[in-house]
A and B are shown apart, each in its own frame.
Chain A
């Protein structure tokens, strides 16, 4: 595994780190990690550094870079909105990886506000074969409302509320959660209308794009059941191209090693399944090369 600095971009310099797998066999493709909120390319608690290294060991080229206006990259051009600039940045990133590293399979990963540019690129760029969307678009469905009403009096929720309230009175603390890395609240942004989101997801799936949706407990106020995604899509049956992970005890920024480990394992495993599903002939050929005792 080697890490290299890359600078690219047609609309100003974009700074990134490419993690390249060991040269033993051709890379499986490239994974691109976009900025999380105001974090630069390392991600919260160095999530992206560790994830890139894990994915690289699994055979992927990984690019984590700063979109326009973030980290060490230049600001967006004055005649482009942030959304337009970020869309252009992702196109330039795919172009660069295609040219410099001969990549043909692309996977994009976005967390929080990073979902916006990933969603748009997965919709618009046919080179994107898969996307991982963490705490992305959510829409309160009738099912969400019913479940929320039923859960108000859950013992765990009541105990936590009482403990927090009593501690606050006892310690004279503030209502605002504090953290050295970030608060427990989720960044807000202009939502994509649900109808548009449904149409976009439908278009991605029609093209064969595989999607991994991950929802944490930090968005419990908007997403409170694993299959709520299908309620949002208004589909009665699941799609084989979609996997949903719903981790209610995990927070938005994955602020423990155990949470980061879980995300890495899930992503690496899902991508392995993606490769196996898209290359069955290759997988069979690899199996045929194994010694007869299975080692």
Chain B
């Protein structure tokens, strides 16, 4: 399905191309996904594509700006880049109640296919942050991903859920009178989390996932955690080249800290280095 793109202005005027990438709808006609395609700037290009995989809805807003900037930077480095919204999130079709991990992993494959079609590239790498990193690992096989960069991955879905629930308890406790945000049973921090999604998250453990056939996997983290080292070791033990890169950064916002500021992190620069020096 081609995107529907309408431009205003005189028919003889040049088409407007946003600096932040070309927005489009793609995928199935009855279930379109929204994405933004960043083409390489300057002459030539690497002939490679990168799909950026957003975190889950609870951390999406803070990362939107960062991913836009990262996509522009990677396009400047010669890559075709696609950032997109999973089903039931952002501008994509579907309601909150339709969200589930299996669909989101398939959405990554759809985005990769769209990027291959639009850009004419064969080699695709996946860069995912937080739950997006987990989904990238799950989707790596169906995408035939060349490289995986996993930024602060959610290794244990059960622990991730528990952190969100703890944050919700604190948020409700700190509400200012007279506001009364009593969430419904299937709501968590303003987002619907259905029993299907809750079961999927509770059962998510990246250490038990079938390992991808990616050429190289890099786990990038702002804070050293034992589960990241365990994940890297688990992947390496399967014969896939896997590294763990620690980029200390006190400004990186997390789900258990105040998240009302933009991310100012050195990790995007590290990701560019990882992808730029290892692409061939």
A251 engages B181 (CB within 8 Å)? yes
User: Given A4-B4, A96-B8, are A177 and B181 neighbors across the interface (CB < 8 Å)?
Assistant: no
What residues of chain B lie closer than 8 Å to A79, measured between beta carbons? none
How far does the alpha carbon of A40 sit from the alpha carbon of B23 in the complex, in Å? 14
A249 contacts B178, C-beta separation under 8 Å: yes
- Decide: A4 near B6, CB < 8 A? Known: A157-B178, A180-B164: yes
Whether A178 pairs with B259 at a CB distance below 8 angstroms is yes
Nearest-CB residue, chain A, relative to B176 = A184
Cβ–Cβ < 8 Å partners of B208 in chain A: none
- Contact bitstring A1-26, B, C-beta under 8 A = 1, else 0: 01111111100010101100000000
- Which B13-56 residues have a C-beta within 8 angstroms of A? 15-21, 23-25, 32, 34, 36
Q: Which of B101-109, B167-175, B210-218 contacts A (4 or more CB under 8 A)?
A: B167-175
Q: Which chain A residues (89-129) contact chain B, with CB distance < 8 Å?
A: 92, 95-96, 99-100
| Chain B residues with CB under 8 A of A44 | 61, 190
Interface residues on A, range: 35 or more
CA distance A104 to B123 in the complex (A): 48
The residue of chain B having its C-beta at the shortest distance from the C-beta of A37 within the complex is B260
Cβ-closest chain A residue relative to B90? A42
- Assembly CA distance A7 to B258 (angstroms): 34
- Contact between A46 and B90 (Cβ–Cβ < 8 Å)? yes
- Chain B contacts for A40, CB-based, 8 A: 64
How far does the alpha carbon of A101 sit from the alpha carbon of B76 in the complex, in Å? 36
Q: Does A145 contact B (CB under 8 A)?
A: no
- From A3, A178, A217, A258, contact of B171 by CB (8 A): A178
> Shortest beta-carbon distance, A44 to chain B, in Å?
8
**Selected contact of A180 from candidates B7, B36, B59, B192, CB within 8 Å:** B59
Contacts of A82 in B (CB 8 A): none
Q: What is the CA–CA distance of A92 and B258 in the complex, to the nearest angstrom?
A: 36
Q: Check B179 against A184 for contact (C-beta < 8 Å).
A: yes
Chain B CB count within 10 A is highest, among A4, A164, A255, for A255
**Chain B 69-105 interface residues, beta-carbon cutoff 8 Å to A:** 89-91, 93, 95-96
Q: Which of B187-216 contact A (CB under 8 A)?
A: 187, 189-192
Among A68-76, A264-272, A283-291, the stretch in contact with B: A68-76
Report Cα–Cα, A19/B88, bound state, in Å: 16
Asked if A251 contacts B36 (CB within 8 A), the reply is no
The residue that B179 contacts in the complex, of A9, A92, A163, A249, with Cβ under 8 A, is A249
CB distance from B21 to the nearest CB of A (A): 7
Do A13 and B258 touch (CB < 8 A)?
Answer: no
- Report how far A99 CA is from B10 CA in the complex, Å: 11
- Interface size grouping (class) on chain B: 35 or more
> Do B6 and A6 touch (CB < 8 A)?
yes
Contact B255 A180 (CB under 8 A): yes
Return the chain B residue nearest A93 by Cβ. Answer: B8
Q: Are B58 and A217 in contact (CB under 8 A)?
A: no
Question: CA of A173 to CA of B166 in the docked complex: distance in angstroms?
Answer: 12
Tell me, rounded to whole Å, the shortest Cβ–Cβ distance linking B190 to chain A: 4
Q: Does B3 contact A (CB under 8 A)?
A: yes
For B225, list chain A residues within 8 Å (CB). none
| Complex: A145 Cα to B238 Cα, angstroms | 69
Indicate if B68 sits at the interface (CB-CB under 8 A): yes
User: Looking at the complex, which one of A39, A178, A220 makes contact with B61 (CB distance below 8 Å)?
Assistant: A39
How far is A225 from B190 in the complex, measured between Cα atoms in Å?
26
A250 to B7, CA, bound (A): 38
Residues of B within 8 A of A17 (CB): 34, 91
Tell me if B20 and A184 are in contact (CB < 8 A): no
Which residues of chain A are near B96, meaning CB under 8 Å?
A: 46, 257
Which A residues are within 8 Å of any B CB, using their own CB? 2-9, 13, 15, 17-18, 38-42, 44-46, 49-50, 71-75, 92, 95-96, 99-100, 154, 156-157, 160-161, 163-164, 167, 173, 176-184, 216-218, 220-221, 248-251, 253, 255-259
Given contacts A49-B91, A181-B189, A182-B61, 8 further A-B contacts (CB under 8 A): A4-B4, A6-B8, A38-B262, A44-B61, A157-B178, A173-B174, A180-B58, A257-B192
10 A-B pairs in the complex with CB atoms less than 8 angstroms apart: A5-B24, A13-B19, A44-B61, A72-B18, A160-B175, A178-B174, A179-B260, A184-B174, A256-B181, A257-B192
